[in-house]
């Protein structure tokens, strides 16, 4: 009985892999042709000069704000360091 079950499973697997599965994966002999279009290609973007000038101005203002904030923070750090050294000197 075990031999019969073994041979039946072998036959079922052979049928599946050699007959059933290849027929379901047949290659289409006339595949649809790929059409390429210029619309799918990347085109350079056109930026308006006024928009570009506006963005440059915004960039400049942001960089100046950043620089002033950095200078302000650096001056605060220097003040705190001098306060720390003064307090350390007073404790000694």
pTM (2 d.p.): 0.41
| Distance of alpha carbon 65 from alpha carbon 60, whole angstroms | 9
> Average pLDDT per run of 10 along the chain, which is 92 residues long?
88 88 68 65 72 91 94 94 93 82
CA geometry: angle at 12 spanning 9 and 13, to 5°? Answer: 85
| Distance of alpha carbon 75 from alpha carbon 69, whole angstroms | 10
Q: What is the pLDDT of residue 41?
A: 59
String of DSSP letters for 53-74:
HHHHHHHHHHHHHHHHHHHHHH
Q: What is the pLDDT of residue 21?
A: 74
């Amino acid at each position: 009985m075990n031999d019969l079950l073994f041979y039946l499973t072998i036959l079922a697997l052979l049928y599946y892999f050699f007959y059933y599965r290849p027929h379901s994966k047949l290659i289409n002999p006339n595949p649809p042709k790929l059409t390429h279009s210029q619309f799918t290609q990347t085109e350079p973007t056109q930026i308006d000069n006024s928009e570009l000038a506006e963005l440059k101005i915004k960039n400049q203002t942001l960089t100046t704000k950043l620089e002033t904030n950095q200078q302000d923070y650096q001056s605060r750090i220097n003040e705190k360091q001098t306060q720390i050294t003064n307090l350390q000197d007073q404790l000694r």
